[in-house]
Amino acid sequence: MAMVLTGCVSNYTESARTFQSSYGAGNYANSLIEAEALMTHASAEDEVVLKLQLASVQREAGKIKESIATFEAVEDLFGHYDATPEISLSGEGIAAFSNPYAFPYRGRAYDRIMATTYRALNYLEVGDQEKARIALNRALFRQEDAKRMVAEKERIAREEMRNAEAKDWNVAQATRSAEVTSAMSEGAADFVGLPIYQDYMNPLSVWLHGVFFLHTAQGIEDVEKARKSLERAQALAPQNPSIQEDAVWAAKSGSRPAVDGKCIVYVVHETGTSPSWGEFKFNLPLIIFDNNAPIMTVAFPKISPVPNRDNLSIRCQAGNFNPAPLASMDAIVAREFNDELPGVRTRAVASAALKGIAAYVANKAAEENNRRNNSQGAGLLYLATIIATNTYTIHSAQADLRNWATLPKNISMVKLIVPISEQIYLQNDLARPPVSFTIPNAKSLILYCKTPAKGGPLSLHKIILNP
């Protein structure tokens, strides 16, 4: 049994490392091949996170229609999990004795919000404004639903704590131990100087909702929707004056903005990658004073910021411009990580304690067999049992490191008014030549840019808002 359960240890992190390296370097062709290869070997438990990453790579590799299809498949999975109760450790014995990868990855709140936001951007890029409208409205709903998701996870954590403590006194002692308290402090994400977004709001999603309804308004109701979202986005990103300008327009004019002979251009820049995930392990003493007590190993996740952000400079005849802060994915990820940590702690400690107790019972049984038979075979069996149970408790302790690794670190935005047919130049690294873009004959558009790594290649997405 120990051999079988230890075999359940996941190699998710190792299998995703090559793909993440290619993506981070901006090599989207290779990362697409690797992401597709990961999908061919994906388990049902990892399907959501791998499809999220595949959809991101497809988007940057220019496979917009394929990215739409993948994001839509992810949305179906979200719907399936929403209709399925959150799994409790107390009701999943095999997961308690293996590792958290035995549970399906259902998607965090920020995953769901960003997935719907990218869907909207993809729809806009292929000119399907009706589906973009639906997706952007759903992105707002996802933000409202985030509070429910977090509350449900907290409820599950409390339930698991009560059930685990009721089963064995050792679990309660281990959960409250100094080792766990210290590990919780070390594992908490403490990113200095990050903004705090209330109620799990995502400034990018809120701003995009406002800008879309402002520039595609069919009447005063759409303009009013735009005003509300833009004012909310302004409160979330007060350092960005472009948002305030549009919010004021929506409040006063009641119509779409337009400038004769010129195009309103929103340059959005995604840079860097979101926090890296790792694990740290520590040992807990099983509160049984006996040589048969195995090593009880606990694994907690930890995240750390990746210092790979780029700054974008934009040059046109009107002058030089730099996008202002719009959203910090580091802040969004760290907030939800810290909110999840108490539940993660309960599940990890309870699982480790239950494994330790089961291993102790197996060791005692082997010891009793050795005492009764007093033979070489019984002695070897006892030794083998001790080795097997310790191997099992140590190697089956894993932190769940599944995360949407292709999300950016920071998102910034600037609004420009540029004459039609004029060229603008975008540059994220002085060592690279600037990327030129000719303003099309349109009233407004979004130029969505991305650089996953500092100094890496700059990708561009042209999104027409108002032709």
- The mean pLDDT values, 10 residues at a time, for the chain of 467 residues are 47 71 86 90 89 95 97 95 67 52 88 97 97 96 83 73 63 64 67 85 97 95 95 96 94 88 97 90 66 72 87 94 96 90 78 69 66 69 58 67 94 97 92 92 96 87 96
pLDDT of 7 reads 42
Residue 452 CA, distance from chain mean position: 15
pLDDT of 360 reads 65
Count of the separate structural domains present in the chain: 1
- 125 — phi, psi (to 5°)? -65, -35
- 387 — phi, psi (to 5°)? -65, -45
170 with 353: CB under 8 angstroms? yes
310 with 172: CB under 8 angstroms? no
pLDDT of 386 reads 55
pLDDT of 284 reads 73
87 with 101: CB under 8 angstroms? no
Contacts of 155 by beta carbon, 8 Å cutoff, 6+ apart: none
Cα–Cα dist 166/36, whole Å = 45
Cα–Cα dist 464/350, whole Å = 52
pTM of the model: 0.86
- 60 — phi, psi (to 5°)? -75, -20
CB atoms within 10 A of CB 25: 15
- Quote the domain boundaries for residue 207: 2-466
For helices 241-253 and 203-215, the axis angle rounded to 10 degrees is 40
By the 10 Å C-beta count (0-12 exposed, 13-18 middle, 19+ buried), 245 is classed as middle
**Kind of pairing, strands 444-451 and 262-271?**
parallel
